[in-house]
Structure 1
């Protein structure tokens, strides 16, 4: 028995467009925040730029996916179906490394908060960032901030996996319906 709507919360094509748009928006905003405030969280130079670049890549793939579904493009949805597993693996590696690096730098983050939100001294001396930590960054506390960060990274992976399912289902559904035999006469 073939199930056309298994595990689908929304209608297939329109729901895929909406889901891809949500992933695009939070990945794009997250990448901008990492580029802007990354030096306050990560203390090795290109680290926050790599994480922001990966988030920007996820946003780009999600945008391509949304356009492909909006145009009913079989070829581009198949291309996205091939790309999403690689993106999910890279995002999972990024999430693990980000969590480890946050845990490793918690004393430096605590120092930044204890000193009025200014950048860690060696990071400031190297010219990594400017200004102060974002408002509310220090008032939340590291443990709650770290927990929210981990939950958001895991939710990101789940969202990407669900978009992979939707993207895979759409061309599979097209193939299924194109192979149907219609009555003649």
Structure 2
């Protein structure tokens, strides 16, 4: 498989039930942390497992991991922040959950489209279309439409703002190697120190 230009950046964080007193991985000693098998979150929490002393619960998918938290079989769930926000917003009581603590890694995870490996012409067309959406500002409009709106089934608002890393991807046309050029020419760039 091949990948398109990246279009979104997320960081792995923790979600807990409100009022638990858990504010970071370090607060999980002796407690249970749910994670989806095979994800970046699994790799990151495994690296902290021995030091932090929590019990690791493996889930097959996002729904099962969230069910572990909802049913109190786990005291925390580690996953990409944007996915945590979606799980929280689509629950019956989003106010019952909090996303807490610093990201579990400094580097963000870039999201991209999966493409056929042996079709460079198609990849070039997809990348050109994404770059055009970034340049036109349409990506920011799509972010507002889909990530800052009421979501089914209960109509709770999803209030996900694009991260500085995501804004940089859009400003650089999805090419992180152009980030320095964009920050030098854009006074509002998140990498320019403003």
Q: How would you bin the TM-score normalised by the shorter chain?
A: under 0.3
TM-score, structure 2 as length reference:
0.24
Larger Rg: 1
The structure where strand makes up a greater share of residues is 2
The structure where helix makes up a greater share of residues is 1
